Amino acid sequence: MGWRRAPSAGHRERALESVFTSSPATAGGPIIDFAADESCLAIEGLSLAYGETPALRDLTLRVPRHRVTAFIGPSGCGKSTLLRALNRLHDLNEEVVRRGEIRLEGQDIHAPEVDVAELRRRVGMVFQAPNPFPMSIYDNVAFGLRLQGGLRKRRIDDTVEWALQSAALWEEVKDRLRASAWTLSGGQQQRLVIARTLAVGPEVLLLDEPASALDPISTLKIEELIRNLKSRLSLVLVTHNMQQAARVSDYTAFLQRGELVEYGPTQTLFTNPRLARTENYITGRMT
Partner 1 sequence: MRPFLTRRRGEGPWPWLAAGSVALSLSMLAGLLLLLAVGGLGHFWPAEVSEVTPREGAPFAGIPVREERVVGSERRERLYFTGNLDLDGERWRWIPLDAIAALEAPPELVVLERRRWGDFLGHLVALEDGGRRHAGAAAWPALEERLATLETLRDERDHLRDAVVAPLVRRLEQGGDPAAAAELARANARIRELQTAMQGATLVLESVDGRRLEQPLAEVLRAWRPNAMSPPQKLAAWGRGVWRFLSEGPRAANSAGGVWPAIFGTVMMVLLMSVVVTPFGVLAGIYLNEVARQGPFTRLVRIGVRNLAGVPSIVYGVFGLGVFVHGIGGSLDAWFFADSLPSPTFGTGGLLWASLTLALLTLPVVIVATEEGLARVPEHQREGALALGATRMEMLTRVVLPMTVPAMLTGLILAVARAAGEVAPLMLVGVAKLAPQVPVDGEFPFLHLERKFMHLGYHIYDTAFHGDDVQAAMPLVYATALLLVLVILVLNLTAIFLRHHLRARHGVASRA
Contact footprint for partner 1 (CB under 8 A)? 1, 3-5, 87, 89, 92, 94, 116-118, 120-121, 124-125, 127, 129, 131-135, 143-144, 147-148, 180, 182, 193, 196-197, 200
Q: How far apart are CA 141 and CA 133, in angstroms?
A: 10
Closer residue to partner 1, CB minimum distance, 167 or 282: 167
Half-sphere exposure of 52 (CA within 13 A, CB side): 0
Closer residue to partner 1, CB minimum distance, 188 or 266: 188
Closer residue to partner 1, CB minimum distance, 102 or 125: 125
> Nearest distance from residue 199's CB to partner 1, in Å?
8
> Nearest distance from residue 211's CB to partner 1, in Å?
16
DSSP characters over 6-61: PPPHHHHHHHHHHHHTTPPPP----B----GGGEEEEEEEEEEEETTEEEEEEEEE
Q: What's the DSSP call for residue 179?
A: S
> Nearest distance from residue 173's CB to partner 1, in Å?
17
Cα angle vertex 93, ends 116, 251, to 5°?
65
Closer residue to partner 1, CB minimum distance, 4 or 153: 4
Closer residue to partner 1, CB minimum distance, 83 or 260: 83
203, 234 contact by CB (below 8 A): yes
Q: What's the DSSP call for residue 148?
A: H
> Nearest distance from residue 94's CB to partner 1, in Å?
8
